[in-house]
Amino acid sequence: MDMDQVELYAQKSDVDNNLADPTVIAKYRLAADIAQDALTKVVARVAEGVVVSELCAFGDEIILSYTSKVYNKNSVEKGIAFPTMVSVNDCVEYYSPTGDAGDDYVLKQGDVVKIELGAHIDGYMATNGHTVVINANPAQPILGRAADVVCAAHFAAEAALRLMKIGNSNVQVQEAIAEAAALFNCSPVMGTASNEIKRYVIATEKMILNVPDEENRPVQDFIFSANEAYTLNILISTGDGSCREGAGKPTVYARNVHQNYNLKLKSARAAFNEISTEFGVFPFTTRALENKRHRLGVTELASHQLLTPYPIYYTRASEKVAQFKMTVLVAANGTTRITPPLSLPYVHSDYTIPADSGVARLMAEPVKIVKGGKALAGIGAAEVSAPGQGMDVDM
């Protein structure tokens, strides 16, 4: 990608972000419906014995199947905004194996399975994520720490969503996340965050850290304003929230449009051309490279900072991590969640939410959720119900 292309993307990200524009909203809604349908179908396939790489490939195929059928007259860019990632138990995020020898995982009973993915239409993106617990006896709720962490992540996400209003601050959201996690004796995961998004921009400087870290990751406090879009990404751990980078090589990368280098290896040049053409500025998985030999060039691209890796992080092996992720639009007429919630896993926590807690007060507030699926009419959408009897927690 040359400097002219960098400038073009910068111009694209600065225009047409008006949430009062029906065309902009239509593209956000279509991206959200595609991501929602893909997530629903991936969640429905989660079961003992399923291979994670196959699950990830399935999610990506659904997104590409939909995006291949829309906006074909004017060469509009569309496709995967975030590849399907399935992170299990102590794995925090960004696990999307290629299926090569030694690079995969087979789901087992009791696994806490986090799925996240995203789609974009003309640079307008929607991402979402959900947690499933594989239950050997679906008629009985999951108990123990797996139940606690699912409850903590769910209520943290719901409390955060209700605070994302014009005039509120990121600090208020961070405090609510911390309170919800503590009520279930859990902790937000360090180094993870929610971000403002714009056209072709997956993260602006406006960031909501799940755990504030002024020393290592200083973030400027801000007030929510009209005409903003966000990826709300909540990750909660049964431990103290600390995590480390795993030994496995990353498989998810994004093009660093601010870096240039004269590549020497033919495989690196070929990989660079494919990445720039097929994925643009959005993250991709090496599994998606059509020519497997191009994967060899990824190492050189990353070493010269032409690609930014998404390392796979883990908490302690004995811990569990749960995640809920959604796309939120903050407009002049209110805040709307455009990726609706899925059925919750059937869990029962021994912890309760006190009636006088801040989380309980927030949960009593209404929230606007767009009903998904309308934008998919006529392009092969199908209704798929996620299994599960829901959450059992006292409030």
Beta strands per DSSP E along 24-142: 78-88, 91-93, 112-121, 124-133
What is the mean pLDDT of the segment spanning 3-8?
A: 56
Task: Enumerate domains of the chain plus CATH numbers.
Answer: 3-248+312-394 (3.90.230.10), 250-311 (1.10.10.10)
Decide which of 172 and 291 is more confident: 172
What digits encode the pLDDT tens for the residues 256-286? 888 888 877 787 888 888 888 889 899 999 9
What digits encode the pLDDT tens for the residues 319-356? 999 999 999 999 999 999 999 999 999 999 999 999 99
What is the mean pLDDT of the segment spanning 61-82?
A: 91
CA 199 → CA 11, 41, 147, 228, distances in Å? 10, 26, 37, 11
What is the mean pLDDT of the segment spanning 211-225?
A: 85
What is the mean pLDDT of the segment spanning 359-371?
A: 92
Choice among 126-135, 206-215, 226-235 with the minimum mean pLDDT? 206-215
End-to-end CA distance of the chain: 53
| Helix residue spans in 164-206 (DSSP H) | 170-183
Decide which of 299 and 222 is more confident: 222
